[in-house]
Every structure is written in structure tokens, then in C-alpha cells.
Amino acid sequence: MKVTAIWVYPIKGLRGIPLHSAHLGPQGVKHDRRFMLYKVNEDGELAKIQLDRYPECSRFIQEVVGNEIHVRYEPPEVPLVPSCPEQSVVLRVPLDPDVSGLDRQVINLHQGLANVYRMGAYFDEWFTACFGFQTALFYIGNERRPVLGTFSPRAQPAATAAPPAQKGWLSYLSSYVWGASDHRQPEAEAESDWLTFSDMAAYLVASEKSLGNVNARFSSGHVDIVKFRPNIVVDGEGEGEFDEDFWAELSICGRPTLAMTKMCNRCSSLNVDYETGRLGEGEKGMVLKKLMSDRRVDAGSKWTPVFGKYGFLVDGLDGADISVGDEVAVTKRTTERPAWDWPYKDDRIARFYRYA
């Protein structure tokens, strides 16, 4: 297999940024989901802004320019909110803001608590004008969210090594021979895995072969991989459709890189029409339903279909550089699909990260 696309989402929920190459760290692609937007309700309570409930997120375009994120709002042909001057302004968000004077706010994202930084009125007012409701931008800084359930690779049962394809034997063997250029640190004392504003894992990997299966369900149109919001896309060559359900480890360029732990359960964000900023009409609004017929294969979440696989860097690896075109191999497998067990509906277990 090969890497065919890499995506990063500096501000969670907004359109992703395609990359040709990227640095992978323990908490994801560099700059991934370091910022997050919340709706501020009339009573002051915060509600997370994500694509499934706020499809207008799809009209915000972001790109990394130097040490800033540049965000543009593109009104659709049929406007979502009245026109205002802010809609023609490019918002510049520092990638590494000075947090010394920022207010703090405890947020709860899927029962993972963190005391994060509110970026301030300038940013809030721009997003408020474009969304049409009171909005606040938050930065996670050095804060950490815990990984719950058994989503961490350290909580997974041992997986068996996958027999290498004949043509890939040398690269498979070399993946266990570590040179001076590797980022692996076998003697470093491990700490618990943690997250920024990513939902449940540092990485989401998707397969183009599986996407082909999804597209075959539609009589017209095309389901773009962007709807599934992956970090890394592979072509799936040599593997079966939805074979990623059983992947336990991926090696990139002959080096064990990603421990794959859980399947990704999908929501109505798949039905968003990125051109209109609304839920899609006709077949455009039926992606989730089409997957319901045979992709509810997660015993831990029986009512949601699955597409893609969550992952973390393998133990002892503190970073890796990848590019589109890199060779990818499945080096460990599971015989059964993993079961979802993140207790995101149980507010009794909400907690902060416990530092090692």
C-alpha cells in the first residue's frame, strides 16, 4: 500500500488542510486539533461545535501560513447568515499564542477534562459574526486530555504479526532494525497516552479501497474522502475492502509506526454538503444511511456504522516523518474486530489527565 493523502485540522471542526508531507507526533499530525470552537449559550454554558450539529463549519477554509492559521469564511450561494464585513476578512490565528494573559476555562470533551485557554474577544467576535451565534475559540496549549476505555495501545491485547508479502520481506525485516536516525526511544519510561482536541485517538486512517465500496452504493455523485475527516489515507492496494477493521499495526517505509486500536464509528457529519454548508439533499444526505445496512459491525456500538481505524504511535516512537507516496504495510493483525468502549455518555467518569 501507499500513503495517498495526509490531512491536518488545526481548528477542530473546520475544513481540513491537505499536506504532501507531515511530522507525526504522539498526539497526532503536527498542529492537529490544537484549537476548538464552542457555542456560548444564553446561560453561559458551552456546547462543542462539530460538523454533525453545525454543518456550516464546512464553509470555513483554513491553511497554515508561516506561524499562523489563516481562516476564511466562504458564504454559500444560498447564504446561511446575513452578510457582514467579517466575512471578507481573513482571520489570522497564531499557531503558538502567548497564553500569559488569557482566561482559562475547564472544558469537557467526551468526558476528558482540560483547563484550556480562551483566545479572546477579537477571535470570538469574528467567528460569532460568521456563524451567526455567540462563539468562543479555545487553545489547548500544554494541557492534556486522557484516553479513556481501551483506546490506548497499551490497553490492547497482544496482536499477532502479519505474514509479510514476498515482495515486502526486506522492508518488513528492516522495520525491526533501528538506526541512529530513528525517533524510537526503547529505554524511555512510558507515560499514559493523552490527547489534545482529537476525539478519541491521535490518528484516523482511512482506505481508498473501502471508499470505493461506499461510492458503489450511490447511483450518481461522488463521496469524497474529506467527509470522513481522516489524517492519513492509504490506497488499500493488496488488501480487501474494510480490511482495516482488523489492522493492529502499520509500518511506514519499513518502520513500525502506528498502533491501530479501535474502529471509527460515524455520525451524521457524513451527510453534510460542503458546498451548501447544510445537510445534503437526496443521495448527498444518505451517506450514513447507506453504511447502516452492513457496516454496524462494532459490538460496542451496535447502532452506528464504521469507517476507518483509530491509531497512536507505537510504543517507544516519539515521532516520524511521512509523505504522500510512502510505502505502508500491515505488520500486525487482530482476528476479531475491536469493540468500542469509550464511556463518552457517562458523565460520572469525567476526569483530567493524570500526569505520570
Query: Mean per-residue pLDDT for 263-271?
Result: 97
Residues 89-109 have pLDDT tens digits of 999 999 999 999 999 999 999
What is the pTM assigned to this prediction? Answer: 0.91
Amino acid at residue number 275: E
Q: Is 184 exposed, middle or buried (0-12, 13-18, 19+ CB in 10 A)?
A: middle
Assess whether pLDDT exceeds 80 at residue 39. Answer: yes
- For the chain, the structural domain boundaries read 2-150+193-333
C-alpha torsion sign, points 281, 287, 290, 292: negative
Query: Mean per-residue pLDDT for 202-208?
Result: 98
Residues 112-142 have pLDDT tens digits of 999 999 999 999 999 999 999 999 999 999 9
Residues 55-87 have pLDDT tens digits of 999 999 999 999 999 999 999 999 999 999 999
C-beta neighbour count of 277 within 10 angstroms:
23
Tell me, what's the pLDDT at 299? 97
Q: Of all helices (H) and strands (E), which one includes residue 125?
A: helix 121-131
Residues 286-329 have pLDDT tens digits of 999 999 999 999 999 999 999 999 999 999 899 999 999 999 99
Tell me, what's the pLDDT at 169? 36
Residues 211-261 have pLDDT tens digits of 999 999 998 768 999 999 999 999 998 889 999 999 999 999 999 999 999
Tell me, what's the pLDDT at 190? 63
Q: Cα–Cα distance between 38 and 59 in angstroms, integer?
A: 16
Which distant-in-sequence residues (6+ apart) come within 8 Å of 201 by Cβ?
Answer: 147, 151, 195, 261, 262, 310, 311, 312
Tell me, what's the pLDDT at 174? 39
DSSP state for residue 335 in the 8-state scheme:
S
